[in-house]
Amino acid sequence: MSGYDMAIAIGGEAGQGIATPGDILARLFVRRGLNFNSYNAFQSIVRGGHIFLTLRTTEETKYSHGDKLDILLCLNQDTMDKHLHFMKAGSKVIYNSDNITPGSAADGVQLCGLPIAELTGNARAGLNQNTVAVGAILYMLGLEFQVLKDSLTQQFQRKGEAIVNENVKVAQAGYEHAIKNFERFPDEIPMLSTPRGVWSGNDALAMGGAAAGVKFYAAYPMSPSTGLLHWFANNGRNIGAMVRQIEDEIGVANIVIGAAHTGARTLSATSGGGFALMTEAIGASSMMEIPTVYIDVMRAGPSTGVPTKTEQGDLWQALGASQGDFQRFIAAPLHAQDAFNLMAEIFNLTDRFQCPAIVLSDLLISEGHYSVDPEELDFFPTIDRGSTITEHAVGKTDYLRYKFTESGISPRAVAGLEGYVHVVATDEHEENSGLISDEFTNPHKRRAMVEKRSRKFENIVAEIAPPELVGPADADVTMIGWGSTFAAMHDSLALLTDRGITANFLSVKWIVPLHADKIAEVFANAKRTIIVENNQSGQFARYLRGETGLVPDGHIRKYDGEPFMPHHIADGVEDNLKNNTEQFIPFQEIVV
């Protein structure tokens, strides 16, 4: 481990205002150009319950919320009772000493009680305790109070001067109390040259869609995908995009195809349950050859499952989404910025190959918050609509919507153009869209049309980049994962190095098409292979075996609702090497 690495956890109940100190601290870190990410462990309750927000800021690029906590801020007794045992020597525990009793801490943990009533002069102590605590934290981090003053001013300016002044006053009381009573962390918090911003994974998906030209967004609210709906609702007018909340996900999945048929690029997002309702429409999009993109932000299933917890449990649902043999892309972005970049790429593919795409995000990526440098984002990606026709014809045409071609791609005229009047159909059809499914059923025509569509995907793997092996080529162990496990696998490499194990990993983003040759090559060159995934049954391992016959030496799986922490993976790798264990299931220490 090298460079600055600071993790702060804030625990309390829903409604206690955990988000505000979280936002203030996040902004402070990213303005200094530091890497930042956060993970919020919460329950499906609007008021009450238990929330545990972990904020991590690092000098180096890290993708996960890490393994250790340096500061624990307890907003209630519950937090103290549940999480004090996790705190190690050198860490600090901050709490309101008026109403929270500290437990017995490990040696070297500094218990930092704040007499909130005294420090706030009894003014709205409950509301102000968070701000007092942020003041104390700022001192511990070694920052000047002015930094916090500026930040509070920005945070509360909409609420008026009185609120700003009150917050600055109580924050200062916390800061000064800390000077007198608590120790600073020895490490200097760095100041890097380029300030950054903050976004969530859902923001990244939505913004990537906007850059790709999405002009129609439809959704039914469902955690943890609702952030996209809110993003489009807040930004739709800026980007000239229509946003519609629809009665159910069946309506959503179909309305976006209708809108796409007029030439708009359309997007929708949901989670597993809503995605289940969308599946018939996904087949319709493929059969009618009208492109659109569906995002499934996975949460712990099955059924209603655990709405506020993460899982990579919908892979087989995505693979089996709709009946029959049909063409669609399936991709699982590895992290927020990857999600942003994926959107432009996948919209181009759906336009060029005239079929739907499924994006598998999950709660971990989508609801996590991360530092981002806007200058690194391409807001003007190449837009390639393939053989889409968007202009009126000149003179008469003999247009056939489903014309047989060598590539299987038939030029697609959008609805409303003169000279291209045609029908699109979910029934099997012939070149001119005439139905061959009713009394005209004709096996030769049916076969020809099935083959026309399938030709589109004959060499489709050449259209996407192969996954890349991260880490040293001659490692002791090669981990293989997909989607969001990138973060914990990436951050586990340093831990493994400390334990004398060299490891590398392959994160697969493209599920369909699958770069089978590249993955087989990685397996062939690996000394030992372990598949890491955030589900119980090894959905990716089973898919990979089905597609390639490849079987790994071991599995690391987690399905308790919480994401992997890097040490969970390091423990699993170590166990596999020592004990040749076939499957390792890490123990989740932090419980909310």
Partner 1 sequence: MTTTIELTAKDFKGVDPDWCPGCGHFGVLNSIQRAYADVGLQPHEVVTVSGIGCSSNAPGYINTYGMHTLHGRALPFATGVKMANHELTVIATGGDGDGYGIGAGHFTHAARRNVDITYVVMNNQIYGLTTGQMSPTSRPGLTTKSTPFGSIEYPYNPITSAIMNGATYVARGYSGDIRGTTKLIADGIRHKGFSLIDIHSPCVTFNLENTHDFFKQRIKKLDEVEHDASDWKAACEYAMEWGDTIYTGLFFEVESESLSQLDPILKEGGPIAKRSLPLTPEQADRLKSRLM
Which residues, numbered 377-416, are part of the site for partner 1 (CB under 8 A)? 377, 379-380, 383, 392, 414-416
Considering only residues 282 to 341 of the shown chain, the ones binding partner 1 according to CB under 8 A are: 284, 288
Report how far residue 312's alpha carbon sits from residue 292's, in angstroms, rounded to the nearest whole number.
23
Measured from the CB atom, the residue of 207 and 409 that comes closer to partner 1 is: 207
- For partner 1, the binding residue among 135, 227, 263, 273 (CB under 8 A) is 263
Measured from the CB atom, the residue of 118 and 378 that comes closer to partner 1 is: 378
Q: Extract the tokens encoding 543.
A: 């898919």
Q: Extract the tokens encoding 373.
A: 């440098």
Report how far residue 130's alpha carbon sits from residue 173's, in angstroms, rounded to the nearest whole number.
12
Q: How many residues bind partner 1 (CB under 8 A)?
A: 75
281 binds partner 1 (CB under 8 A): yes
CB within 8 Å of 97: residues ≥ 6 apart? 113, 114, 115, 116
- For Cα atoms 269, 460, 213, give the angle at the middle one, nearest 5 degrees: 40
Report how far residue 592's alpha carbon sits from residue 14's, in angstroms, rounded to the nearest whole number.
12
Residue 331 near residue 511, CB atoms below 8 Å:
yes
Considering only residues 63 to 102 of the shown chain, the ones binding partner 1 according to CB under 8 A are: none
Per-residue contact flags (x/-) with partner 1 for residues 136 to 175, judged by CB under 8 A: ----------------------------------------
Taking every pair of C-alpha atoms in the chain, what is the biggest distance, in angstroms? Answer: 89
251 binds partner 1 (CB under 8 A): yes
- For partner 1, the binding residue among 66, 213, 274, 586 (CB under 8 A) is 213
CB within 8 Å of 456: residues ≥ 6 apart? 327, 353, 354, 355, 407, 408, 409
Backbone phi, psi, residue 343, to 5°: -60, -45
Helix (H) / strand (E) element for 260: namely helix 249-261
Considering only residues 507 to 526 of the shown chain, the ones binding partner 1 according to CB under 8 A are: none
573 binds partner 1 (CB under 8 A): no
460 binds partner 1 (CB under 8 A): no
- For partner 1, the binding residue among 434, 455, 463, 499 (CB under 8 A) is 434
Measured from the CB atom, the residue of 116 and 204 that comes closer to partner 1 is: 204
DSSP string, 341-370: HHHHHHHHHHHHHTS-EEEEEEHHHHH-EE
What's the min distance (Å) between Cβ of 423 and partner 1? 3
Report how far residue 456's alpha carbon sits from residue 105's, in angstroms, rounded to the nearest whole number.
63
- For partner 1, the binding residue among 261, 352, 369, 453 (CB under 8 A) is 261
What's the min distance (Å) between Cβ of 289 and partner 1? 12
Considering only residues 168 to 207 of the shown chain, the ones binding partner 1 according to CB under 8 A are: 195-199, 203, 207
Considering only residues 335 to 374 of the shown chain, the ones binding partner 1 according to CB under 8 A are: 372, 374
What's the min distance (Å) between Cβ of 41 and partner 1? 25
248 binds partner 1 (CB under 8 A): yes
Report how far residue 315's alpha carbon sits from residue 13's, in angstroms, rounded to the nearest whole number.
33
